[in-house]
Chains A and B, each alone.
Chain A
Amino acid sequence: MQNLKGIVERAGGVYLLPVAIAAVTFFLIPPSTWTTLTIAGLAMGMMIFLMASGLSLVFGLMDVLNFGHSAFVSFGAFIAASVLAALASWVSGGSVALNIAALLLAIAAATVFGAAAGWFFERVVVKPVYKDHLRQILVTMGALIVAEQLILAIWGGAPIAVPRPTILEGSIVIGNVAIETYRVFAFLLGLAVYVALYLVLNRTRIGLLIRAGVENREMVEALGFRIDRLFIGVFMAGSALAAMGGAMWAGYQALITPALGAEMLILVFIVVIIGGLGSIEGSLLGAVMVGLTANYVAFLMPKMALASNMVLMMVILLWRPYGLKPAVQK
C-alpha cells in the first residue's frame, strides 16, 4: 500500500486525476467521440483556467474573494463581440492577416478593458473592505449586480451573435476524428498563458514576492516590501485574464447573453475550490478536471452536466477540505 502511494506520488500525485478521468471514460465512449470530447474538455478547461487563475491568486495574496470577478468575464465577452462585429469585413474576409488582426484586436480590447476595470474595482470597491470577509462578499456581490445591469443597459437583454474569424472556423480532420480549430486555438492560448504565469511566478523577482506574499503576507511586509502595490498589479492581471477568458468564451459559444457571467462564476468557483485557493497549478488542475468531466458527462448523461461538477466538488472537498493543491498547507 505504502509502495503504491509512493509510485502514485512520484508519477504526479493529484495531477494524475484528469488522466484517470480520461482513462476511465475511454472505455465508456467510442474512441472517435472520446477524442473530440477530450479536446473539447481541454479547451473548455483552458478557458475556465484563464478566468479562475486571477481569482485564485487575488485570494491567495490578499485574502480577498471577489464575487464580482465574473463581471470581468462578461464585459470581456461583450467587448470582444462588439469589436468583432465592428470589424465584420476583416473577420469574414479571406485574408489571413486581417483575420488574425481582428482576433488579436478583440482579445486585446477585452484584456485592456479588464485591466483598467480591475484597477478601478480594486481602488473603489474592494479597498475599503480589506480584512472583512462578510462585507467583502456583500460589496463585491453588489458590484456584480451593478455590472450585470450595466451590461443589460448597454448591450440589451437579447442574445448577441459573435462572428468568428474565418481561419478559426471549421475543423481539422484526422482519420475519422474532427477537431474544431477554435478549440485547438483556445487550448494553445490557455497553455501559453499558463506557461507565462508559471515563468513569471517561478523565475522572476516579482513572482518570488507574490509567492512569498501568498505564503505569509505579514513577513513580506515586515521585510519592507509594499504588498498592497503588488496586489493592485495582481488584481489587474487577474481581471485582464478573466476578460480574456470571457472573450475566448464568447467566440466558443458564438451566441452570448448577459447571463454568461453568472453561469461562469459557478464553474470558476467550483474550479478554485477543487484546485485549492491561491495556486495557479491548482486552478489549472481544477479547470481541466471540470472541463473534461463536463464534456464526458454531457455525452453520457446529458441531464447531469452541471450537477456532475457539483458532485466532483463535493467528493474532493470530503477528501481534501482545502482543495487538491492549496498554495499554503494549512
Chain B
Amino acid sequence: MSVASALSAPPSRRVPAGRLAVYALVAVIGVVLALAPFLLHGNVRGIDVAARICIFIVLVASYDLLIGYTGIVSFAHTMFFGLGAYGTAIALKAMGPSFGALALGGAAGVALALVLAVLIGLLSLRVKAIFFAMVTLAAASVMLVLASQLSDITGGEDGLIYDIPRFFSPANRLFTDADGKVVRLFDVPLNGRVALYYFVFLSALVLFLLMVRIVRSPLGTVLEAIRENETRAEAIGYRVVAYRTAIFCLAAVIAALAGILRAVWLKYTGPEAALSFAIMIDILLMVVIGGMGTMIGAIIGVVIMSLAQFYLKDLMQAAADATNGLPLVPDLLNPDRWLLWLGLLFILLVYFFPAGIAGTLMGKGGHK
C-alpha cells in the first residue's frame, strides 16, 4: 500500500536515512501489492499470499492501535476478526451468494463485535492492563470453543464452505471486446478474480489510510498520552476509560471488517482460518517485529512474517537435513518448529529493539 506520500515529513526538515529506507520499502511493497494480479500472473499461490498480506496489514494495524498507541494488550483480536468472518460466512451460506447477504452478514458480524467490545471494555478496562489481558484471553478462548461446538450454525471444526457473489467468480467478464471475449490487459484476463483482488486491496487500503488518519488526529494524541502516563492524562481532564473503550471498539470494528475480507477471499471460514489462537500469536509477532506504535510497522511486520513462513521453513529443512546425525538438533530445526525460532526472535526484539524494525530504523525510541 503506497502511503509514503501521506506519511512523509515536510520537505523543509531533513529526513534521516533510516526513515527514507522504511518509506522506500513500504512504497515497493505498496506497488507490488497494487499490481499483484499483473506481476504474479498465473501464480495462484502468489496472489493468495498478496491478498493475505493486504488483509493482515489491516488486522495488525488495528491491533497496533491498541498495543502500540494506547498500551492495551488484548488477546481477543482474533475473536473480532472471526466474528466478521463468521457473520459473512453464515449469511452467504444461508441466503445464497448475493451482495445483500454479504452486506447483511458482514454488518451483523461487525455489530456483534462492537457490542462485545463495549461489554468487555466497560467491564474490564477500568482495572489494570494485566487484568484486561487475562479477561480478553478467556473471552477469546470461550468464543473458539463456542464456534467449534455450535456446529449447526458454524460448521464446527470443519468450518463453512460457501459461494461468493457471481461478480467475483473467474467466469465473470468485467470487460468484453467486440467478439464477446474477455479483455486482456498485459495478458491478464480481466475477470471476476481480478475484481475480487482489487476489492480486497482497495478495502484494505482505505481502512489502513483511515487508521493512519486516526492516529494523526487529536484522538491519536490523547491515546499516546494515556499510554505514556495514564494518571497525568486523567489529571489533565481526559476520561481515560472512555477513550480506551472507544479505541478498543474501533479496533474491534476494523478487525471485524478485515474478517469480512478474509471470508470473501477464502470462500471458507473455520476455526483455524479465522479464530484460532495461532492467528493471535501471528498478529502479536507481526506487530512487535514491525514496530509497535508506528502503523507503518504493520506493513513491514506482515510482509516479513508472511515471507518467513514460506522461506524460513525451506531454510530450516535444509539445516535439519544437514544436521541429520545429531540428537535433538534436527527436531529443533524441523520446519514445523519455525515458531520456536520466531518466538526466540520475538523475545530478543522485545528486550533489545522494543520499537521493532520500523521504529528502530525511523529513529523513534521504544516506548515504555
Contacts and interface: CB of A to CB of B under 8 A. Distances in A.
B124 interface: yes
Contact of B142 (A125, A141, A146, A310): A310
A307 B137 CA distance: 13
Contact of B149 (A152, A262, A272, A303): A303
B255 interface: no
Interface string A65-104: 1010000000000000000000000000000000000000
Interface stretch (A30-38, A109-117, A317-325): A317-325
B364 interface: no
Contact of A141 (B284, B328, B354): B284
Contact of B126 (A128, A139, A149, A321): A321
B146 A145 contact: no
Contact of A138 (B124, B134, B350): B350
Interface residues of B, number: 44
A318 B123 contact: yes
A59 B346 CA distance: 23
Interface of A is mostly: helix
Contacts of A125: 347
Chain B interface, DSSP helix/strand/loop, else mixed: helix
Contact of A306 (B130, B142, B277): B142
B339 interface: yes
Nearest to B72: A134
A303 B149 CA distance: 7
A145 B281 contact: yes
B46 interface: no
A118 to B, nearest CB: 17
A25 B114 CA distance: 35
A194 interface: no
Contacts of B98: none
Interface in A4-63: 59
Contacts of A67: 133
A142 B73 contact: no
Interface string B318-345: 0000000000100110101101101110
Given A137-B133, A139-B351, A152 B346 contact: no
Contact of B340 (A134, A146, A314, A317): A146
A282 B123 CA distance: 20
Interface string A298-317: 00000100110010011001
A307 B127 contact: no
B130 A152 contact: no
Given A135-B350, A153-B337, A310-B142, 7 more contacts: A133-B129, A139-B347, A145-B281, A149-B339, A273-B134, A273-B135, A307-B145
Interface of A: 59, 65, 67, 125, 128-129, 132-139, 141-143, 145-146, 149-150, 152-154, 262, 265-266, 269-270, 272-273, 303, 306-307, 310, 313-314, 317-318, 321-322
27 contacts: A65-B130, A128-B351, A129-B351, A132-B368, A133-B128, A133-B129, A134-B73, A135-B354, A136-B130, A138-B288, A138-B350, A139-B351, A141-B284, A142-B343, A142-B344, A142-B346, A143-B343, A145-B343, A146-B347, A150-B340, A153-B332, A265-B137, A266-B137, A306-B145, A307-B142, A310-B138, A321-B127
